[in-house]
A and B are shown apart, each in its own frame.
Chain A
Amino acid sequence: MELKVQGQAAYAYTGGKAFATAYRGDEPVVVFIHGAEQDHSGWTLQSRWFAYHGYRVLAPDLPGHGRSAGGPLTSIEALADWIVALLDAAGIARARLVGHSMGSLIALAATSRHPARIEQLALIGSAVPMPVSDVLLGAAQHDEPQAARLINDWSHSPRGLIGGNTVPGLWLLGMNQQLMARQKPGVFYADLNACNQYAPSPESLRAIASPVLIVAGSSDRMTPPKAVRQLAEQLGHVRQVMLTGAGHALMAEQPDAVLDALRAFILVD
């Protein structure tokens, strides 16, 4: 659906059900936040499940991404405030946030900055800090196709690079490459630089009181298991799920396992 957020047109996928008319209006809300140089379509399977099982769903295209207007925002904090502005625009008081990679940082920052608005937090493929190499930042600034190739290589597990997709007939590497190619020039660098710059204080992380789930891939080279463990220690009370063999592109490589982890967390907590 189309919304007006911070004065600009924003698109949010709603899981295949009409957000405004297919519900009573008091159902819990799950917001899925995509990663750098991506859009809502990475969440299709998981967001459809929640939409058809008693939850209202918003999977927005962040500003400048996919169908949303404007240019990219340049800090994780600004993106976090945009997510809360999205909730305002949709008339939602409180929501559960699910974020992948850059989206997980946005979810963390939104929870720190607007704790009363966030009920639960699921971080998928996450690490704090989330440093981005100079090689990748440079490519994102000067050679976006090369940056996309690097990200594609590093985002997938050894198995993911071969294929064997659970969604019949789709080649994951090609899907991701094309999705990145669809984003506007400048978005890639803005996103990666925002990740690289994000440096929340240990106190702000420790202060997060909402229940937290961390889903990690054992073969993730972008946010490796060691970094995930450090984040868990920083946050304190978290539920952790490690997906054996998954790379950073967790929702693409193991969509059912990601859904099961989210179900177990969101339905129980």
Chain B
Amino acid sequence: MSYKFDTLTLHAGQVPDGQYGARAQPIYLTTSFVFKDADQAAALFNMERAGHVYSRISNPTNAVLEERIAALEGGVGAIAVASGQAALHLAVTTLMGAGGHIVASRSLYGGSHNLFEYTLPRFGIETTFVDPRDLAAWRAAIRPETRLLFGETLGNPGLDVLDIPKVAALAHEHSLPLMVDATFSTPYLLRPFELGADLLMHSATKFLGGHGVVIGGLLVDSGAFDWVRSGKFPTLTEPYAGFHDMNFAEESTVAAFLLRARREGLRDFGACLSPMSAFHILQGLETLPLRMERHIANTRRVVAYLSTQQAESGVVGTVIHPDLAEHPDHALAQALMPRGSSSVFSFTLSGGRLAGRKFIEALKVFSHLANVGDAKSLVIHPASTTHFRMSDAALAAAGIHPGTIRLSIGLEDADDLIDDLKRGIAAAAKAVA
């Protein structure tokens, strides 16, 4: 009998170690692995036997994390890398080289936007950004040299819900894969492969780890995309001189992408994850269902409270969350994420940058920092931090109000979080009175 999600979060990929029977996952903090004999060494290098050679390519602790996220997402496998950005870079460079083109949602994490907008063009890879809600725009942006469609399951900063079934169908109509960044939703809230996505990535730094102690990324393959039938991916379907003329699609019918990504991308770009970090992310994953349930429950309390403050406080403006009926993707979120959507969301304070600053400075429980998805509640005021150099007009173009506050709701008692927000709102109201 195959195991269910909550059981897999604790067990998938890990059997007690054969030597000492350790129940917890051992941390194999070693660069390399001793060969049994010369024949075994040669067989490992030529992929005639399975195993580990050097921790830049694979490591037993990392392999458990890779299997576990693949099991939770319903994929064929995964590769653990140094960060979410490394996962995105590894995916792109496995699929295409100079001359390649990406169609991406314009509602992206800033780091992903930077990679697509400024960095990849230096290497000959162009990106067209589209409104994620505009299917016609996605379609119009696809070119003969397009090799990937990319979006976030919950877009930044407006929590645009990506209509994965529709965008995936469009991608497949053009023999292209859809990749999603599933960091905000996690497999607890949304399983993108079941909706048609082909590849996905996580910044494991966020909810998967949950504790805010390590940086890590995961790249997961559904195994469903037929690279051979597509005919657009010679990196996967033609001999690769860099690895004994291996044709990855012949070697593995369903895991060709992961083979190439590991045998080329990890080997040559080298953005491997430390086994120590993999261990920490595994520790977090063990409690993912429990934490996500609490994240969502607390978020619902906080969103409900802030909604009441729109009328009562005089300073709380728009609350942007798919749980709310006025959110443009409310119905889609209910359909795709019945357990709830994001515990990261924004609201606006009238009174602009000053109100935002006073709000932040009055908080005692929320931590003021640049991260999301921690067990602890987090807050940031983009106009005075990440976007402080931008004019109000430039902020508006980026979809950010001078008084926009982004919250990441943690696992504290919701009453304490609401009391903290009351302090902040009172301070903001006083500043603009």
Q: Give A residues with C-beta under 8 Å from B.
A: 13, 16, 39-41, 44-46, 48-49, 52, 66-67, 149, 152-153, 159, 161-171, 173-175, 178-179, 181-182, 255-256, 259
Contacts and interface: CB of A to CB of B under 8 A. Distances in A.
B3 interface: yes
B77 interface: yes
B252 A41 contact: yes
Given A16-B246, A163-B14, A173 B2 contact: yes
A52 B48 contact: yes
Nearest to A173: B2
Contacts of B389: none
B46 A161 contact: no
Contacts of A152: 2
B253 A49 contact: no
A217 to B, nearest CB: 16
Given A49-B43, A153-B1, A256-B50, A169 B78 contact: yes
Interface of B: 1-3, 11-15, 43, 46-52, 57-60, 62-64, 66-68, 70-71, 74-80, 222-224, 226, 228, 244, 246, 250-255, 258, 262
A52 B46 contact: yes
A259 B46 CA distance: 14
What secondary structure prevails in chain B residues at the interface with A?
loop
Given A171-B75, A174-B75, A174-B77, A255 B50 contact: yes
B49 A255 contact: yes
A193 B50 CA distance: 34
Contacts of A52: 46, 48
Contacts of B254: 41, 175, 178-179, 182
Nearest to A11: B250
Contacts of B250: 13
Contacts of B43: 49
A171 B50 contact: no
A167 B76 contact: no
Contact of B63 (A41, A149, A159, A165): A165
B72 to A, nearest CB: 9
A51 B106 CA distance: 49
Given A182-B226, A182-B254, A168 B66 contact: yes
A169 B63 contact: yes
Contacts of A173: 2, 71
Nearest to A149: B2
A49 B251 CA distance: 13
A164 B14 contact: yes
A161 B14 CA distance: 10
B76 A175 contact: yes
A182 B52 contact: no
Given A153-B1, A161-B3, A168-B63, A174 B74 contact: yes
Given A49-B49, A179-B254, 15 more contacts: A45-B50, A48-B47, A49-B43, A66-B253, A153-B1, A164-B67, A167-B50, A168-B57, A168-B63, A169-B67, A170-B66, A171-B13, A175-B76, A181-B224, A256-B49
Contacts of B49: 45, 49, 255-256, 259
A162 B3 CA distance: 8
Contacts of A164: 13-15, 64, 67
A160 B22 CA distance: 18
A175 B77 contact: yes
A46 B223 CA distance: 22
Given A16-B244, A49-B43, A256-B49, A178 B223 contact: yes
Contacts of B68: 163
A170 B226 contact: no
Given A170-B67, A175-B255, A163 B15 contact: yes
Given A45-B50, A162-B14, A164-B14, A169 B262 contact: yes
